[in-house]
A and B are shown apart, each in its own frame.
Chain A
């Protein structure tokens, strides 16, 4: 199962969060909102200027800026 950066994920693609490589307030905020390793995410879409990105997580929708999404690596299904 390959790991890719969340930033590279396409619309409607799903994956499982593998790691979040940042600390401080940003790292904590992402975790608090449910972005923890093992959680399934789906890319809901991107804003008109391709940034930020909207994710479906635990039945809700979250938005992240691209430079924030970069800290998250995701395991995706190889067949996707």
Chain B
């Protein structure tokens, strides 16, 4: 057998699955793809030197890392992906990693693989930890009673991994053989009857073993029930009728549902094996381990929340401080490339597109990379060490009020819960949530937080209109973003994302030191995914937004008019003065300065007119009748359209719209003064604009990430329209009430 052997790696979350996968495959991993499966899973190839056998020296192996699960029900995507992969891709060997220090619970999943019948080998991980805890496991006895090979390993150090693969290779030619587990007299009889019906009709037997289908019918497994209906509705109806009879009978006689009896018997099966001298405890099982002692401090009623705030603030500081320099480097690098392109390319639309569209767009994508890298590194440390689960544990009571989950706190903070975050890594951080509805609600509401790009815009408006109480207003608007985000989450959870809370039954894994290799792989993998998937789309949208702000441009007659104005401005001056004013020199004569000022004013006027006649400008003007309800004139509208590219663009676009030329986001005092003098602006308009800017459609990089994380563009479009409508209603309400109150 010189062919690649296909193996799959399965097991509980926290059992060390990813560590073993990294140990075996090293960096030779890629994201796998299997038709019909939406969840990513990783694949890795490696060559194994066969030590036990002389017949072949080297064996190529493809290992697939399936999602970590506790069971094989149809309640979560991870579980459906795992079992669908196993029955459809039929890997030749299934390696089931189990935590030796938590053997009984981990074997629950193993019993289901036995029933499925796939060629199974148990990788008994963390035998060292178990030993420290006084747990002794007789490996040969366990293998004998389970009827499958068991290999003790320590995934972190790689100890035993080679022997594990030696044994796994021997299973590669084994046929699938389901194992029968007894579920008590009543259910066993029912299962036999169901199997008879299933076998007679070849019902789903091309994919699932008959006994597996029978058990899934008794468990009311939605996915299998649906497949049955599609495959052969007559047989499906017979099976369902039979199951209803059995369920009613069990409910009457034993006051229990079939799925409960099945689960109880699986544990019965495991207990009966472990009791036959497989597992012995030398210490009292109630003994407090190091991990429990750490928890006495870290989840303490008073100290716990205080430490948590420090840790979260620390993560935030780390992410944004550490990435500051690399972000600045990337910015100046792209600035340099932009300048090069400016001086090398001939004037015209191509130059404008490359400089403003492509280079700025790429800069926009890559500018986030250091931020995402450091954020994921920080989260990987918290996740791999086990602390993230404690954060969820402590915060759950508060977040549950709003239909969210304790784990939602992290994405909110990263997105700007402490003003100045970024929604892009925030949206990506929702991956740590395992509850689908709570995750969607978090995903859609984190863009409401005050990210680093909104802060200069907010600072500009506060500085211009509320200069006496800057700090207080900044704080109030941060609080407002939290309130609105949480209330919006509640709104979503009672409407489009309605449904009961996902059960919180969660494991608090023992604290562990994260491995450097694990952190590196985690961080790189997620960052690369962002660059690859977001990069292409973002570049396209960036060019589109550039075109909207540029085309169709000024009509020829108007351009000629500006040209004429320029000539008229130049004509009274002597030619030396004209050439002096066009020179690069900073210090020039009084008259040259006057000429420069006059020309700049005309150019700014031209830019304003060009912006006004662009597509974005026309949208802004067309929207004015509606936007007046919230107090916005067409200039503000154009700036808000520009803000879809990135929120800080609002400042530069406002600058152009008010013919002020180039306004830098961090030096916008003059623009602020200009706004205070404008009859269209006052304190009420400023508050209304602040509210709209805080809550309207996320910038398009965030939108692309939402689409990617939600797995559907529909949600991204929903996010744009929901947020904009929501923000507009709020802003209009504030404006109208504010106007009434004077």
Q: Interface of A with B (CB < 8 Å)?
A: 14, 20, 23, 25-37, 39-40, 42, 44-45, 47-52, 54, 56-65, 68
Contact = CB atoms under 8 A, between A and B. Distances in A.
Contacts of A59: 101-105, 133, 135, 285
Interface string B252-275: 000001011001100100000000
B305 interface: yes
Contact of A62 (B101, B263, B264, B506): B506
Interface string B487-512: 00000000000000111111111000
A40 B285 CA distance: 10
A6 to B, nearest CB: 13
Contacts of B135: 59
Nearest to B258: A23
Contact of B108 (A34, A40, A42, A49): A34
Contacts of B292: 44, 56, 61
Contacts of B71: 28, 32
Given A33-B70, A61-B507, A48 B304 contact: yes
Given A25-B503, A31-B264, A60 B105 contact: yes
A29 to B, nearest CB: 5
B74 to A, nearest CB: 10
A35 B70 CA distance: 13
B301 interface: yes
Contacts of B295: 44-45, 54, 61
A29 B505 contact: yes
Given A36-B264, A47-B299, A61 B503 contact: no
Contacts of B394: 47-49
Interface stretch (B396-404, B561-569, B581-589, B652-660): B396-404
A40 to B, nearest CB: 8
Given A62-B507, A63-B508, 6 more contacts: A23-B257, A26-B505, A49-B398, A56-B286, A59-B135, A63-B506
20 contacts: A26-B503, A29-B75, A29-B503, A30-B503, A32-B263, A33-B105, A34-B108, A49-B394, A52-B397, A54-B299, A54-B393, A59-B103, A59-B105, A59-B135, A60-B102, A60-B507, A61-B291, A62-B506, A63-B393, A64-B504
A52 B399 CA distance: 12
The 3 closest A-B CB pairs, nearest first, are A31-B263, A49-B397, A61-B508
Contacts of A39: 267
Nearest to B133: A59
Interface string B224-239: 0000000000000000
A29 B435 CA distance: 13
Contacts of A29: 70, 75, 503, 505
A35 B505 CA distance: 10
Contact of A33 (B133, B299, B507): B507
A52 to B, nearest CB: 6
Contacts of A42: 286
Given A28-B73, A34-B267, A58 B505 contact: no
Interface in B278-295: 285-286, 291-292, 295
Contacts of A36: 263-264, 267
A28 B263 contact: yes
B305 A48 contact: yes
Contacts of B506: 62-63
A20 B505 CA distance: 14
A24 to B, nearest CB: 8
Contacts of A62: 505-508
B41 to A, nearest CB: 21
Contacts of A28: 71, 73, 75, 219, 259-260, 263
Given A32-B108, A37-B264, A58-B102, A63 B505 contact: yes
A30 B286 contact: no
Nearest to B264: A36
A78 B400 CA distance: 35
A35 B286 CA distance: 16
Interface string B60-83: 000000000011010100000000
B507 to A, nearest CB: 6
A65 B260 contact: no
Interface in B383-397: 393-394, 396-397
Interface string B292-325: 1001100111101100000000000000000000
B263 A23 contact: no
Contacts of A26: 503, 505
B393 A33 contact: no
Contacts of A68: 503-505
A50 B397 CA distance: 8
Nearest to A59: B102
A33 B505 contact: yes
Most A CB contacts (10 A, CB to CB) among B70, B73, B300, B504 go to B504
A58 B257 CA distance: 24
A58 B398 contact: no
Most B CB contacts (10 A, CB to CB) among A23, A25, A35, A60 go to A60
Interface string B118-143: 00000000000000010100000000
Contacts of B73: 25, 28, 32
